[in-house]
Amino acid sequence: MHPFEEVLSVSKEEITILLRSIGKIEWSDFLLNPRRLRGSDFLMRWSQGVWSEHRLIEAVNSTKKYFAVQYGPSSAAPSDDVREFELYFERLDKAGLGNIKRPDLLIYKIEYREFVDNFLNDVGGEQELPFIKEKDLRPLIEKSLTGVECENSLWVAKDMPAYGSELTPQKRLNGKLGLKKSAVLPTIIVKEEDLKPLTRWQTSNKKTIHIWHGFYDLAFGISYNKLKNLISRKLILPTEQVFQAPGGATTKKIIYKVYYHYAYPLGVSTQEPKLISAYIKDKNGHILPYVKFEGGHLKIMNEALEELERLR
Domain ranges across the chain:
3-311
In single-letter form, the type of residue at position 224 comes to Y
Look at residues 267, 260, 263, 277 and name the one whose alpha carbon lies nearest to residue 297: 267
**Radius of gyration from C-alpha coordinates of the chain:** 20
Interval 267-300: pLDDT, tens: 999 998 888 888 877 666 777 777 888 888 999 9
Q: At what angle do helices 224-232 and 192-205 cross, to 10 degrees?
A: 130
**Which is more confidently placed, 6 or 192?**
192
124, 155 contact by CB (below 8 A): no
Q: Which 8-state DSSP code applies to residue 30? A: -
In this predicted structure, the answer to whether residue 23 has a pLDDT above a threshold of 50 is no
How confident is the model at residue 1, as a pLDDT? 67
Interval 224-261: pLDDT, tens: 999 999 999 999 999 998 887 776 778 889 999 999 99
**Which is more confidently placed, 260 or 37?**
260
256, 275 contact by CB (below 8 A): no
How confident is the model at residue 255, as a pLDDT? 94
Q: What is the mean pLDDT of residues 63-68?
A: 96
How confident is the model at residue 282, as a pLDDT? 63
Query: Which DSSP helix (H) or strand (E) runs through 230?
Result: helix 224-232
- What are the helix (H) ranges across 28-179? 40-61, 73-76, 82-94, 113-123, 138-142
Q: If DSSP codes are grouped into helix, strand and coil, which group holds residue 169?
A: strand
Look at residues 211, 214, 210 and name the one whose alpha carbon lies nearest to residue 155: 214
How confident is the model at residue 32, as a pLDDT? 41
